Amino acid sequence: MNFSIHTIPFGIFSFGESKKCLATAIDDKVVDLSYLANEGFFDDFDIPRPVFSQPYLNDFISLGKKKTGAVRNLLQTLLKNPTPEVMEAYFYYKQVDMHLPVKVGDYTDFYSSEQHAYNVGVMFRDPENALLPNWKHLPVAYHGRASSIRVSGTPVHRPKGQMKPKDADKPVFGPSKRLDFELEMATIIGKGTELGESVSVNEAEDYVFGFQLFNDWSARDIQAWEYVPLGPFLAKNFFSSVSPWVIPIEALEPFRIPAEKQEPEVLPYLKGDALSQFDVKLEVYLRTSTGEEKKISTSNFKHLYWTVAQQIAHHTVGGCDLNVGDVLASGTISGKAGDSYGSMLELSWSGTRPIEIAPGIQRTFLEDGDTVIFKGYADNGKIRVDFGTVENTILPSK
Amino acid sequence: MNFSIHTIPFGIFSFGESKKCLATAIDDKVVDLSYLANEGFFDDFDIPRPVFSQPYLNDFISLGKKKTGAVRNLLQTLLKNPTPEVMEAYFYYKQVDMHLPVKVGDYTDFYSSEQHAYNVGVMFRDPENALLPNWKHLPVAYHGRASSIRVSGTPVHRPKGQMKPKDADKPVFGPSKRLDFELEMATIIGKGTELGESVSVNEAEDYVFGFQLFNDWSARDIQAWEYVPLGPFLAKNFFSSVSPWVIPIEALEPFRIPAEKQEPEVLPYLKGDALSQFDVKLEVYLRTSTGEEKKISTSNFKHLYWTVAQQIAHHTVGGCDLNVGDVLASGTISGKAGDSYGSMLELSWSGTRPIEIAPGIQRTFLEDGDTVIFKGYADNGKIRVDFGTVENTILPSK
């Protein structure tokens, strides 16, 4: 962990038997914001001190960007040249426990990477019509399970479920044989809407607090059997994981880049004055139980056809309400190159092209004991913003 | 509203400017449980009095069935021959406001009525293969949107969205032209599970607190365009509605009936010693803005292929955790007869068979100003248990 002064992430930590409370981080230190609050550092912003002593960030996020932005700015000043008083709030990262930072209300998973949708379409359906007809007209999405989202470090048991082997005449039950990760970015909603209210593309980023790395764990064999006609269910809801730190959207301003032109033209409610993506490098590492580790994918948050602003506009256009703490995940982010795909399904091309982790060690899908690690960072040579990691180890089925 | 002594429903009410708190109901009276609690009526059960003064039932439900069952039993005694002291807690139903009774964590929608799945399959896909291959092997379900669930009485604005008219070469945007209801029953989860824990069919009903009428409002034209490959999204998430009273599962014991035999045989984790359904009559009424009203469907909670216990066993078999207040909706409940279908889509056979509401007034899908009313009740000649109603009026698109 190494957070620059440009990052100022927000998370939830505890130390030993202490209660959970809010934290930021600088370099390899965790900074106890409840301590700073109780010393009066944030009193000028008219924020009740207990907001910094909650077990989730939600109350803090609910203050709105004016106040959370003021806290961010002050922290950049305080942590640049910390006084001894400020340093009283420091902990070494390795000394503390990090927790799920946001209490998630509803979780939506988009499907916004064209290469990923294309790859899945080729493998599961028809190479000639890999993208379904709706894909370039709307940001396809489905509702995911909020309850089973956990923080980095939580182990994941291989799920059991129904699958139907090729040529079998009926389904079988057992541990998934095609356990997979999905490399995603989670958008954390920072401002709620009323039922019936729509948010335009141009104002949509006002509703974004920040971002986290997101692993949408998936069991491909369970998914293939269950997903028609209503979408994935048990194939996904056994577990999802997030990195411990929420990176505020303000930290990504230096890394904003124009989105690519969309063709065919989208409907007016999906148009914006200046659609943008964020240039954030994403890496996937696989570590075996014997300690062999390899980077198996290098992707980028920018490899999305639909922007976060368009996702929010689409999500609300029918009147669905958003709440602070909702998660809008990007969907698997795959680049064009074969080594930038965001899932084992794509990297091993449905298991037909094993990936070499080390001499004699290959993977198609994930095995018990494997650890999957996502890392993310933005770096323009002058400014670097890290996302930290989301890292989970696979345990055998219960 | 007319609740027998056998019902003892639980809900959340307020009177004038009073705070929300817990209530039950008897005949046409609402009974303020916070008043009875503060008078000490429940002190023997070791329940903190503030549990009855919450804006949701969740804390009460979390006490567990032993305590909530004791409250239920005591209320049956108290309300049978109420003393003047007990009657101090009475309000006339028309004097109070009823609120959403349960703070919903996650909402899952099943698809468990065979006739409904068959009807949809015939209309949308292939009459020869109306049921998809997985349908009789697992209770198909998807995750719905929890945030947009509202209580009976809340108006619903006709949603706008993308749809693709037949033969058009690209989608259009506008108010849905095929707005529909779905007649469902919601199961309210009463006990949580840990991530990774599975619940067997035989113990599954221990996790059920009770039931509510549920209307899964749907926009068929939006759904048809968006739902491949990940399931319905904006077609459903603009609104869902529930009846104000949760009927405890104990009240349905007299109406338990054996479930029909499942063929083909299901996998062992879906088998139970005595699978049962509940004989609860369900009715749908449509009332126009000019006051014409007609009963347009008569269905029954028992018209399900999969039981609630099987739904819970399936939901948890991969390790997905459940929490108190989660909703598991049944999916549209359609009986075999054409006048027992649970949606306009089926009743009007995709708009091809208009339904006469009154002379000269026909409907295929729902129009602005229409009110949809679900009623439910169980009655064996000796005991009657009502569910109340869920009733919502359609307003034009915003």
| Same domain for B178 and B54 | no
What digits encode the pLDDT tens for the residues A301-311?
999 999 999 99
Give yes or no: residues B187 and B219 share one domain: yes
Task: Return the residue of B nearest to A163 by Cα.
Answer: B134
- A104, pLDDT greater than 90: yes
Picking from A162, A231, A320, the nearest residue to B237 by CB comes out as A320
Contact (Cβ atoms closer than 8 angstroms) between residue A317 and residue A392? no
Q: How far is CA A310 from the centre of its chain?
A: 17
CB B139 within 8 A of CB B314: yes
Virtual CA dihedral for A41, A45, A48, A49, nearest 10 degrees? -10
* B66 falls within a domain: yes
Q: Do A267 and B171 touch (CB under 8 A)?
A: yes
User: Is B188:B100 a contact under the CB 8 Å cutoff?
Assistant: no
Assign 3-class secondary structure to B242-268.
ECCCEEEHHHHHHHEEECCCCCCCCCH
Selection from B235, B151, B178, B112 nearest residue B367 by Cα: B178
Give the separation between CA B42 and CA B69, rounded to whole angstroms. 12
Closest CA to B105 of A388, A185, A147: A147
Is the same domain home to B90 and B113?
no
Average of per-residue pLDDT across B294-308: 98
Strand partners, B268: none
Among the partner-chain residues B124, B137, B233, the one whose CB lies closest to the CB of A141 is B233
- Cα angle B96, B100, B103 (rounded to 5 degrees) comes to 145
DSSP sequence for A44-98: GGT--GGGGGSSSSHHHHHT-HHHHHHHHHHHHHHHHS--HHHHTTEEEGGGSEE
Q: Is residue A5 part of a domain?
A: no
Write down which residue in A99, A130, A151 finishes a domain.
A99
User: Which of B99, B116, B314, B315 is labelled catalytic?
Assistant: B116
Distance from CA of A236 to the nearest CA of B (A): 9
Q: For residue B44, what are the domain limits? A: 11-99
Min CA distance, A145 vs chain B (Å)?
Answer: 7
Q: What is the pLDDT of residue A124?
A: 82
For residue B306, the one-letter residue type is W
pLDDT in tens, A353-383: 999 999 999 999 999 999 999 999 999 999 9
Number of cross-chain residue pairs from A and B with Cβ atoms under 8 Å apart: 189
**Rounded distance, CA B347 to CA A113, Å?**
39
Q: Catalytic residue positions of A? A: 116
Same domain, residue pair B67 and B150: no
User: Comparing C-alpha atoms, which of B19, B107, B93 is closest to residue B56?
Assistant: B19
**Residue B187: its pLDDT value, please?**
99
A171 Cβ under 8 Å from any chain B Cβ: yes
For B171-196, how does the pLDDT look when each residue is reduced to its tens digit (9 = 90+)?
999 999 999 999 999 999 999 999 99
Q: How confident is the model at residue B126 (pLDDT cuts 50, 70, 90)?
A: confident
Owner of token pair 């008083």: A85
Contacts with A380 (C-beta within 8 Å, 6 or more apart), sequence order: A254, A255, A279
Are A168 and A287 members of one domain? yes
Structure tokens, A46: 């008219």
User: What pLDDT, in 10s, does the model give residues B329-380?
Assistant: 999 999 999 999 999 999 999 999 999 999 999 999 999 999 999 999 999 9
Of residues A41, A34, A44, A48, the one with CA closest to residue A89: A34
In this structure, is residue B199 part of a structural domain?
Answer: yes
Task: Please count the CA atoms within 13 angstroms of the CA of A292 that sit on its side-chain side.
Answer: 11
Q: Are residues B155 and B193 in the same domain?
A: yes
Read off the pLDDT of residues A285-295 as tens digits, 9 standing for 90 and up: 999 999 999 99
Q: Which domain CATH number covers A33?
A: 2.30.30.230
Q: Please give the pLDDT value at position A283.
A: 98
Residues 6 or more apart whose Cβ sits within 8 Å of residue A381: none
Q: Which amino acid is at B93?
A: Y
Task: Tell me the residues of chain A between 21 and 50 that have a Cβ less than 8 Å away from chain B.
Answer: none
| Torsion angles phi and psi, residue B360, rounded to 5 | 85, 0
Pull the structure tokens for residue B345: 């889509």
CATH number of the domain enclosing A239: 3.90.850.10
Average pLDDT value for chain B: 97
Residue A125, pLDDT score: 82
| A157 within some domain | yes
Q: Examine the pLDDT at A103 and tell me if it is beyond 90.
A: yes
B233 located within any domain: yes
Tokens of A177: 């044989």
Average pLDDT, stretch B320-337? 98
For chain A positions 234-293, those within 8 Å of chain B (CB to CB) are 234, 237-239, 264, 267-269
- A191 shares a domain with A142: yes
Give just the sign of the alpha carbon dihedral B19, B22, B26, B31.
negative
Asked, for residue A4, whether it belongs to a domain, the answer is no
Distance CA B299, CA B225 (A): 29
Q: How far apart are CA A280 and CA A348, in angstroms?
A: 24
Q: CA-CA distance, B299 to B114, in Å (whole number)?
A: 13
Nearest to A245 by CA among A32, A107, A98: A98
Across the interface, do A238 and B138 touch by the CB < 8 Å criterion? Answer: no
Q: What's the gap in Å between the CA of A385 and the closest CA on chain B? A: 33
Closest chain B residue by Cα to residue A162: B138
Q: Are residues A23 and A111 in the same domain?
A: no
Average pLDDT over residues A319-348: 98
- Catalytic residue check, B116: yes
Among the listed ranges A117-126, A352-361, B71-80, B312-321, which one has the minimum average pLDDT value? A117-126
| Length of chain B measured in residues | 398
Task: Decide: residue A92, CB within 10 A, 0-12 exposed, 13-18 middle, 19+ buried.
Answer: exposed
Q: Tell me if B1 is assigned to some domain.
A: no
Ligand-binding site membership of B112 (annotated): no
Is B240 marked within a binding site? yes
Digit-coded pLDDT (tens) for B26-59: 999 999 999 999 999 999 999 999 999 999 999 9
Is A6 within the bounds of a domain?
A: no
Contacts of B170 in chain A (CB under 8 A): 137, 264
DSSP A339-393: GG-SSHHHHTTTTTSPEEEETTEEESS--TT-EEEEEEEEE-SS-EEEEEEEEEE
DSSP-derived letter for residue A137 is T
Q: Confirm or reject contact between A146 and chain B (CB < 8 A).
A: yes
% of chain A beyond a pLDDT of 90: 97
Three-class secondary structure assignment of A271-288: CCCCCEEECCEEEEEEEC
Q: Are B23 and B153 within one domain?
A: no
- Could A226 and B398 be called an inter-chain contact, meaning their C-beta atoms sit closer than 8 Å? no
Confidence band, pLDDT 50/70/90 cuts, at residue B61? very high
Residue ranges of the binding site of A for Mg(2+): 216, 236, 240
Residues of chain B neighbouring A145 (CB-CB closer than 8 A): 106, 143, 320
Residue B56 DSSP code: S
Using the Cβ of B141 and the Cβ atoms of chain A, whether some distance falls under 8 Å is answered with yes
Contacts of A299 (CB under 8 A, 6+ apart): A183, A281, A282, A283, A284, A333, A334, A335, A340, A341, A342
In this structure, the answer to whether residues A23 and A161 fall within a common structural domain is: no
B102 pLDDT band, cuts 50/70/90, is: very high
CB–CB contact B148 A321 (8 Å): yes
What DSSP line would sit under A219-277, residue for residue?
Answer: EHHHHHHH-TTT--SHHHHT-EEE-S-BEEGGGGGGGEEEPPPPSSPPPGGG--SS-EE
Residue B1 clears pLDDT 80, i.e. is over it: no
Q: Clarify whether residues B76 and B197 are in a common domain.
A: no
Domain C-terminal end among B65, B99, B133? B99
Into how many domains does chain A fold?
2
What is the 8-class DSSP label of residue B138?
S
Give residue A126's pLDDT: 85
Q: How far is A246 from chain B (nearest CA, A)?
A: 22
Structural domain ending residue among the three candidates A74, A99, A124: A99
How would you list the strands of the sheet with A281-287, edge to edge?
A156-157, A384-395, A371-379, A281-287, A293-300
A30 DSSP assignment = E
Task: Inspect the interface and report whether the beta carbons of B322 and A195 lie closer than 8 Å.
Answer: no
Same-domain pairing of A29 and A72: yes
Token pair for residue A241?
Answer: 């994981």
Note whether B174 contacts A: Cβ–Cβ < 8 A.
no
